[in-house]
Amino acid sequence: MAMTLRDIAQMIDHALLAPGMTDQEVVAGCALAARYGVKAVCVKSYSVPLVKKALLKSPTLICAVIGFPHGNSMTSAKLREAQEALAAGAHEIDMVINIGKARSAEWEYVNEEIRLIDRACQRHSAPLKVIFENDFLSDAEIIKLCEIASQLNVAFIKTSTGFGFSRQADGAYNYKGATMAQVALMRQHAAPHIRIKASGNIRTLDDVLKFKDLGCSRIGTSATKNILEEAQRRGL
């Protein structure tokens, strides 16, 4: 069945996560998200009360990011951040794993952190999206995280934050974000019922459609306006 404009909009989590965004810019971003009927806005946790007011008459959901962007907070801090965001009105939580612990193969730590935050989300009937930040990880580490997420039965696994710049061999910092090869790997190794969110450097309608074909049910992007205007031009 062909995708419609509404189908595409309902895949999108509109990202309002740039470090220097003002409250006015966040409110404007919420207005754009509501106008296009996207699934959710992705915001920093402190913005949830502001965003709740901005989206008061809109069905667009509020997704708060936790441990953002590098996942390095103590588990207790991440848990409290999630609890406070949910209490303030967040409908969904995106959390960044502790990347260093994953790369250290401290899998019990990673497992327990995800379990605790997922349990807090379940109390509010809020889906948890677990962000791997694939730019930092090997294929074997991605596969292990897929297995952990599947065992814990989380709602989503997610490729990237959009801010995972990693140091390259020449000393420069670069970022790939969501790649088709890594999404395919995630789809292969996650349980079939675990949904996938692709995020990071997704800028065009063709990007969205390619990731959808790979099995993604949600897309994180700040290029929402351009993507949906392109869909309108194509008559979707």
Give 57: exposed, middle or buried? Use CB within 10 Å, 0-12, 13-18, 19+: exposed
Question: What CA–CA distance (Å, rounded) separates 65 from 81?
Answer: 9
Question: What CA–CA distance (Å, rounded) separates 44 from 16?
Answer: 8
Question: Hey, which residues are catalytic here?
Answer: 94, 158, 197
Q: Which residues contact 189 (CB under 8 A, 6 or more apart)?
A: 142, 143, 146, 147
Looking from the CA of 161 toward its CB, the CA atoms found within 13 Å total 25
Distances (CA, A) of 57 to 16, 81, 99: 19, 26, 37
Say what angle helices 205-213 and 224-233 make with each other, to 10 degrees: 90
Give 4: exposed, middle or buried? Use CB within 10 Å, 0-12, 13-18, 19+: exposed
Residue indicated by tokens 């409110």: 27
How big is the CA angle at 222 (ends 220 and 225), to the nearest 5 degrees?
110
* Residue 186 amino acid letter: M
